[in-house]
Structure 1
Amino acid sequence: MGSSNTDAQIMKIDIGISEADRAKIVEGLSKLLADSYTLYLMTHNFHWNVIGPQFNSLHTMFMTQYTEQWNALDQIAERIRALGFAAPGTYKEFVKLTSIQEVEGVPNAEQMLKYLVTAHETTARTARELFSVVDEVNDQPTADLLTQRLDVHEKTAWMLRSTLG
């Protein structure tokens, strides 16, 4: 989570969600941001390093996926900022917060697909875990963001599993 030095010290945030509740939401969003960044990096790595008979289709698919992930990072970080906290933004912070296991070396194309399925499902679980907190305090913008992210991760995991056959 971002530092305890919130923007609220500059000017009080009064959006109908207490600072303590906003802090709980930001804790979950920070984990989602870390998972999303780790997934982005994994997908981009696989885009660069995939080889084999499916090279062209996987190379293109991974590019579409990492581009979507890249754009999502901003949405998640900006929601954290809107709630009055600093967004995590370093490898050190992401490594502490992520639930995704980093991949060592360069796996083959089939292993890449399996790693990505697992990473998308892990990211979906991270997003889903935050719903109870968000629903309890009526944080509809965060709920909307979580719904959008769940849709992408679940659909992408399905497409990757389908590619595996």
Structure 2
Amino acid sequence: MAKSAIASLQPEASNDRINTGLKADYRRSMSKDLSEILAATYRLTIKSHIYHWNVVGPIFKPIHELTEEHYNELFGATDIIAERIRALGHLAPVSLGMASDFAPTKSDVDQASAHDMVADLIKDHEQAVRDMRKAATTAGDNNDSVTEDMLTARLTFHEKALWMFRAVIAD
């Protein structure tokens, strides 16, 4: 009996029996896109947190406060994105082993000015916007308003973050 209880807790990799009006091929493809967006969100969360701890200079306080606000928002977004992948019938990514590949190194942080850190975050937020915009368009084309709305909300956050970061480092 214990084995069957444990087996019932194992998540299904996919469930092609889902009948919500979204085709299985679309759900599989969108789950893959959302998994990549989820990984990028983790990258931004980690970078924002590391830069939050290590930023120095005359604009320390606004960057310190902004990155704290952002990493908290980004961390919350990871749950929303992962849950959408599950709702589409697929497993959310289970490995974060790649984290060491995208976190800034000690020497990167030691040599980065506050401006460099913000410029790096801007680059990553811009990529996130491009990827999310593409996925949102695909979701809309497939009548997946839930995913499209979720991505629209995420885009709103990232575009506001870009505006704020640009304003902080403006001459």
Specify the alignment match of 1:25 in structure 2. 30
Matched residues in 1 for 2:49 and 2:94: separation? 18
Shifted more, 124-133 versus 134-143: the winner is 124-133
Please say if residues 46 and 103 of structure 2, whose CA atoms lie closer than 8 Å, have aligned partners that are also in contact: no
Specify the alignment match of 2:92 in structure 1. 87
Bigger-Rg structure (1/2): 2
2:9 is equivalent to residue 8 of structure 1? no
Please list every run of at least 4 consecutive aligned residues from structure 1 whose deviation after the TM superposition is greater than 3 angstroms.
92-96, 101-104
- TM-score, normalised to structure 2, is 0.83
Superposed CA offset, 1:102-127 (max 9, x none): 53420211101101111111111110
Specify the alignment match of 1:57 in structure 2. 62
How well do the aligned residues superpose, as a CA RMSD in angstroms? 1.9
Partner of 2:27: helix, strand, or coil? helix
Matched residues in 2 for 1:14 and 1:6: separation? 16
Matched residues in 2 for 1:17 and 1:72: separation? 23
Matched residues in 2 for 1:60 and 1:89: separation? 30
Structure 2 letter corresponding to 1:103: P
User: How many angstroms does 1:47 deviate by?
Assistant: 0.6
Specify the alignment match of 2:126 in structure 1. 121
Partner of 1:85: helix, strand, or coil? coil
User: How many angstroms does 1:56 deviate by?
Assistant: 2.2
Structure 2 letter corresponding to 1:83: L
User: How many angstroms does 1:74 deviate by?
Assistant: 0.5
Partner of residue 163 from structure 2, selected from 129, 133, 158: 158
Q: 1:93 to 1:78 in 2, by over 3 A?
A: farther
Superposed CA offset, 1:18-40 (max 9, x none): 11110011111111101111011
Structure 2 letter corresponding to 1:109: A
Matched residues in 2 for 1:94 and 1:35: separation? 10
Matched residues in 2 for 1:148 and 1:52: separation? 32
Consecutive unaligned residues of structure 2, counting only runs of 5 or more, are 1-11
Matched residues in 2 for 1:51 and 1:119: separation? 21
Please say if residues 27 and 88 of structure 2, whose CA atoms lie closer than 8 Å, have aligned partners that are also in contact: yes
Consecutive unaligned residues of structure 1, counting only runs of 5 or more, are none
User: How many angstroms does 1:95 deviate by?
Assistant: 8.1
Count of paired positions: 155
Point out which structure has higher relative CO (alpha carbons under 8 A, 6+ apart): 1
Specify the alignment match of 2:71 in structure 1. 66
Partner of residue 149 from structure 1, selected from 148, 154, 157: 154
